[in-house]
Structure 1
Amino acid sequence: MQIALTGKLAKALGVKPPATDENINPLFTWTANWTKVWENRRTEDLLVLVNNATRFTVAVYEVKRKDLKKLEEKIQNAIRNTLLAYNLNTEMVDVYLEFSGEIEYTKNSSRHASAWVSKAGLECSFYIGREYNGIDKMYSDIVGVASNYRIVDCSNSKSDGFYPYKAMIKAMEDLTGKQPYKSRVFELRITLDLEVYTAERRILVPANMSFENMHKIMQYIFDWKNYHLYDFAVYNQETGDREFCLVASEDDLQYDDSAVVMKDYVLSDIFPESKDVVYTYDFGDNWKHDIELVQVIEEYDGELPYLLEAKGQTPPEDVGGVGGFVEFRKIMMDKEHPDYQSVKEWSRYWTLELSEWKSRPNVINIW
């Protein structure tokens, strides 16, 4: 694997790399830079790599100067973990990395690659600012995932554009001969009882998906804004007593000291032993989503997570729970109601019916 270093990164590593070997398959070559995310901080903290064949981005945050001693290990792990974040076939990823070989540093001399890695760094900085602002000493080697969902190379013609993650997956499939997707999958049916109707979603998710990502999916498919606390709970079907509860962080234990932090838990820790889980969002409005296991698919060969079906519009944030939503909806259905105009302005773009584009089957992008 050939890593072309920018001048800044080469200087930080204390190396004088040779020129790039143009005979190497560009799928095995990357351009790397070390840059800052925050303008008000003195040191660089973001490592960015862009694949020279596919524009696929891999990024690691935080990488301080002391961390550069183990840079090769970090790069290998980051490439692997970023690829697996797309729920790819592990065999395909491992074969690609095996074909790539050991890391060798070279000097970056491509103006195009410099521009690509700079643009990728900016996109990753926006993502970090949105997701991790204010978190000290955090570390993630998959912060590049979101960048690869953005179309590139479309400045001259829209038809020339492509998505880096799709280009990378196709190139790896052609190289290795392995199928790109091969996962154990749970089909889940999720219902939110709104009294006047039930909002329902059916989805496919990897069995080994974290509950942190399951929370992101719930926010996405029910159009929540991630403003409030939440938990996942398992209840005894006979007694109705809560048997197990997962919360997002240590701070949340102050509200429920019998709960467990979800950090190391994945869906297969609960399913299929339990058939139902309740996801509660916003402990004030108390939105309870019943998550039911429909079936287990042992080998699924499609992109994940995936929305199979969506029925029923979801409430706007902070509407006041089910009771508040029923009253809100009643007003929205009556343009002659004295509160209609103010309620409509408050709810902004909310509509009575679920739009067609939100109900059609589609890949769920949680990044």
Structure 2
Amino acid sequence: MYIQCTKALLEKLKIEKSELLPTKSCEDGAAGFYSWHAHFITINRRKVVVCMNNLTRYTIVLYRPKAKDMMELESRIKEGIRTAFGEEGISEVVINEYIEKCGAVEYSKTAGRSMVANLNKICETVQWYADLLDEDTVIQKRISLSLGKYLVKFDGDYDHPEERLFRELCKMRNLSDSEWDRILEVENYQLKIRLDFENFDIWRRVLIPSSCTFQRLHCVIQETFGWFDYHLHEFRLIGEPEEADHKLPLYAYPIKMRIVDGEDPEVGEYLEPDKYEVKFDTKTSLKDVFKDTDTCIYTYDFGDNWEHVITLEKVIENNNRFPVLLERNGERPPEDVGGESGFEEYMRIISDKNHPEHEAMLQWSEITKEKERTIEEINRRMNYFFR
């Protein structure tokens, strides 16, 4: 494995020129698939090491590495590769084979202006994704997943690093470059998402990779229920009430954790981190939370207060990389109908053709109710969106 370092990184590593392998000797036999270019930058005055695969442009990011991390950089980069590949759903057997083929690490200088230009572009993109950086860990798997889906220019054409990575791993295993399913082993969650109504049975059943963030789950709920995403939202874990009164509405239960919109700059104004744990949906994966529970609550529109109970029904290992709607039941209430009581009033009016507000209510609901779509149409849209 060749790690081809920029001058800035070599200075941090304190590697002498005499210790470097000549650039012309950096031939890994796979057109650069086992070689990585690496650069040292700062983001918000924090140290960052960015590693880019020579062939696929797939990126590994080490954030705030300590002195020990820099001394053992080759181990940390391989650990980063293992972590990011695992999050992509690549099977452990394939990851182990890749690491083995990489072999021992040898350091070298960068391989020309073109490769450095590509590396610099990747570093710029990392800075755009700085809000995804996790202060609590060195290996930034969330950025790797996001950059893997970022469209990159390759010799006049455009492609996704993640998909190039999958194709090259297929070649490594002597498979056709379209046989991705044979290298993937994705942990998927089957979730039932039910509107918390006493008199209506409205729910969606979805399959979603456990590595997805709660921000992505928010998008899945919006899409599968046909909400318009006009209003604020949050996820939360709740505890048992002091008095065992099961008639309490969900919002009255004590809060153990709030998972809030990581893209809302004003979200911190109403949080009380001394009373409960706070996480951001852009940085929190489903498996970070569902490893300790099988239920959480999603609230959409703090005015109408639509409470969705999310239940983990089962864990499935397959090659599914994108959220899928499996089943559904019931049409969700129109936006801004006025909560559950408003929805009951709406249902009473539209079911009575003689009601004086019947026609007006029908016209209003055409704009605000869930649009008619098949499961296939919803899945095509989600597949396009999440790709």
SS at match of 1:30: strand
Shift of 1:172: 1.3
SS at match of 2:49: strand
Match of 1:73 among 61, 72, 75: 75
Answer whether contact 2:235 2:296 (CA < 8 A) is retained.
no
1:303 paired to 2:321 = yes
Partner of 1:347: none
1:288 paired to 2:307 = yes
Shift of 1:260: 6.7
Whole-Å separation in 1 of the counterparts to 2:2 and 2:320: 31
Match of 1:173 among 153, 170, 188: 170
Answer whether contact 2:89 2:187 (CA < 8 A) is retained.
no
SS at match of 2:140: coil
Shift of 1:51: 0.8
Whole-Å separation in 2 of the counterparts to 1:115 and 1:314: 51
Kindly report the root-mean-square deviation, in angstroms, between the aligned alpha carbons of the 2 structures: 4.7
Q: Tell me: CA distance 1:57–1:196, structure 2 relative to 1, closer, same or farther (3 Å).
A: farther
Kindly report which structure 2 residues correspond to 1:196-275, keeping only aligned pairs within 5 A, or say none. 200-206=203-209, 209=210, 213=212, 215-223=214-222, 224=229, 229-233=234-238, 246-248=256-258, 254=272, 257=275, 265-271=288-294
Partner of 2:84: 82
Whole-Å separation in 2 of the counterparts to 1:182 and 1:10: 37
Answer whether contact 2:190 2:314 (CA < 8 A) is retained.
yes
Whole-Å separation in 1 of the counterparts to 2:362 and 2:296: 41
Whole-Å separation in 2 of the counterparts to 1:182 and 1:216: 23
Q: Tell me: CA distance 1:253–1:227, structure 2 relative to 1, closer, same or farther (3 Å).
A: closer
Shift of 1:291: 2.3
Partner of 2:63: 61
Aligned amino acid, residue 301 of structure 1 = N
Shift of 1:78: 1.2
Compare 351-360 and 20-29 and name the one that shifted more: 351-360
Shift of 1:183: 3.8
Partner of 1:23: 27
* Structure 2 unaligned spans of 5+: 175-180, 223-228, 260-267, 351-356
1:147 paired to 2:147 = yes
Whole-Å separation in 2 of the counterparts to 1:68 and 1:320: 57
* Structure of higher CA gyration radius: 2
Whole-Å separation in 1 of the counterparts to 2:220 and 2:186: 21
SS at match of 2:159: coil
Whole-Å separation in 1 of the counterparts to 2:384 and 2:88: 11
Q: Tell me: CA distance 1:306–1:124, structure 2 relative to 1, closer, same or farther (3 Å).
A: farther
1:120 paired to 2:122 = yes
1:4 paired to 2:4 = yes
Q: Tell me: CA distance 1:187–1:114, structure 2 relative to 1, closer, same or farther (3 Å).
A: same
Answer whether contact 1:32 1:47 (CA < 8 A) is retained.
yes
Answer whether contact 1:62 1:137 (CA < 8 A) is retained.
no
Answer whether contact 1:56 1:148 (CA < 8 A) is retained.
yes
TM-score by length of 2: 0.67
Shift of 1:111: 1.9
Whole-Å separation in 2 of the counterparts to 1:183 and 1:161: 26
Q: Tell me: CA distance 1:30–1:313, structure 2 relative to 1, closer, same or farther (3 Å).
A: farther
TM-score by length of 1: 0.70
